[in-house]
């Protein structure tokens, strides 16, 4: 689906759907009942510019808007059926609880992929891999400053002493990725570490947040993570996420048009980087 969407929309851009009613335009401001309306306006304005959409579940659940999220997921499937939807949930649990979280993501919401915290080990990831054709995108080297507290530590009992994020990248490329369903989250604020993850996981899709409002550089991000064969076929895709810079590019009645303009500019910048 990612390769198909990349070709269809000539894009590496993922638009994150993080609705904040306090930032909604005009009469919608501070009205959680308008979450669906706001998000569908963004989707409709950008659906031909993206490789994926990424709704963040907390922005819906905090306002009791899970039904609006279900409705939004159905809307995306209807208007952009070839664009994958990544549910950004960052779940992380084992056994029957993980089974329920997987059902939530793939059955209730109909997501194509879900973000997970893998730090409880493979048995916290495996229940998601029981759904054929669905993806599990594991936190690896995140863009927040506190990510270094654990992810950048070295594993003293492993030969060569790789860092935690390096070890996780190797697992996602190798023994954990039995059916090609895994991806990794790597923050745009660490381009050198994106390149290191790509070295260790040459074919795993990388979801890269942090471009735009968080200060990540689009050109450096693509050059560090995107790989293609001599004929131009992508061998290592990147899914570069931008949320606030697109969603809140405008604050008036033309907010959707402003979002489209911001998304197009970011898509073009990403494309220039991979072709330049």
CATH classification at residue 105 = 3.20.20.70
Q: Across 98-253, where does the E strand assignment appear?
A: 113-116, 135-141, 182-186, 206-208, 227-228, 234-236, 238-242
Q: Are β-strands 206-208 and 182-186 bridged in parallel, bridged antiparallel, or unpaired?
A: parallel
Closest CA to 54 of 80, 84, 16: 16
What confidence score (pLDDT) does residue 155 get? 66
Q: What percent of the chain has pLDDT over 90?
A: 80
- The confidence score (pLDDT) of residue 151 equals 57
- Whether 90 is catalytic: yes
What pLDDT digit, counting tens, does each position of 201-258 carry? 999 999 999 776 556 788 889 999 999 988 888 899 999 999 999 999 999 999 999 9
pLDDT digits (tens, 9 = 90+) for 4-22: 999 999 999 999 999 999 9
pLDDT of residue 145: 61
Burial of 42 (0-12, 13-18, 19+ CB in 10 A): buried
For 51, the 3-state DSSP assignment is coil
Asked if pLDDT for residue 268 goes beyond 70, the answer is: yes
pLDDT at 206: 97
* Number of domains comprising the chain: 1
d(CA 233, CA 50): 18
How much is the average pLDDT of 119-126? 93
Given the residues 29, 71, 90, 134, the one annotated as active site: 90
Q: 107 falls in which pLDDT band (50, 70, 90)?
A: very high
What letter would DSSP give residue 134?
A: -
What is the residue range of 96's domain? 2-275
Distances (CA, A) of 192 to 10, 132, 151: 25, 33, 14
CA distance 263 to 197: 26
Distance of alpha carbon 274 from alpha carbon 85, whole angstroms: 23
Does the pLDDT of residue 80 top 90, yes or no? yes
From 43-47, 165-169, 196-200, 210-214, the region with the lowest mean pLDDT: 210-214
Range 102-110, long-range pairs (CB < 8 A, 24+ positions): 102/127, 102/128, 102/130, 102/131, 105/134, 106/131, 106/134, 108/70, 109/69, 109/70, 109/73, 110/73, 110/74, 110/77, 110/85
Vertex 234 angle, CA 265 and 8, to 5°: 55
Specify the pLDDT at position 34.
Answer: 98
**How much is the average pLDDT of 51-75?**
98
Question: pLDDT confidence of 143, banded at 50, 70, 90?
Answer: low
Beta bridge partners of 56: 88
pLDDT of residue 144: 59
DSSP 8-state code for residue 34 = G
Give the residue from 53, 55, 54, 48 showing the smallest Cα distance to 7. Answer: 48
């Amino acid at each position: 689906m990612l390769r198909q969407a990349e070709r269809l929309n000539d894009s590496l851009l993922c638009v994150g759907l993080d609705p904040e009613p306090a930032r909604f335009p005009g009469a919608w401001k501070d009205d959680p009942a308008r979450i669906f309306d706001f998000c569908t306006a963004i989707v409709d304005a950008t659906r031909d510019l993206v490789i994926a959409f990424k709704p963040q579940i907390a922005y819906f659940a905090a306002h009791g808007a899970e039904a609006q999220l279900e409705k939004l997921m159905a809307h995306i499937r209807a208007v952009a059926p070839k664009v994958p939807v990544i549910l950004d949930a960052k779940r992380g649990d084992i056994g029957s609880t993980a089974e329920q979280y997987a059902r939530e993501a793939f059955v209730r919401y109909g997501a194509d992929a879900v973000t997970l915290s893998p730090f409880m080990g493979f048995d916290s990831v495996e229940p998601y891999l029981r759904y054929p054709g669905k993806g599990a995108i594991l936190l690896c080297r995140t863009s927040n400053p506190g990510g270094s507290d654990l992810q950048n530590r070295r594993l003293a009992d492993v030969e060569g002493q790789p860092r935690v994020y390096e070890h996780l990248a190797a697992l996602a490329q190798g023994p954990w990725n039995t059916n090609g369903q895994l991806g990794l989250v790597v923050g745009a604020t660490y381009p050198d570490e994106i390149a290191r993850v790509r070295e260790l996981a040459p074919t795993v899709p990388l979801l890269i947040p942090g471009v735009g409002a968080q200060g990540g550089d689009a050109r450096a991000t693509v050059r560090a993570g995107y790989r293609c064969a001599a004929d131009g076929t992508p061998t290592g895709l990147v899914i570069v996420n931008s949320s606030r810079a697109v969603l809140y590019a405008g604050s008036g009645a033309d907010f959707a048009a402003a979002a489209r303009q911001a998304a197009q500019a970011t898509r073009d910048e990403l494309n220039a980087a991979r072709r330049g």
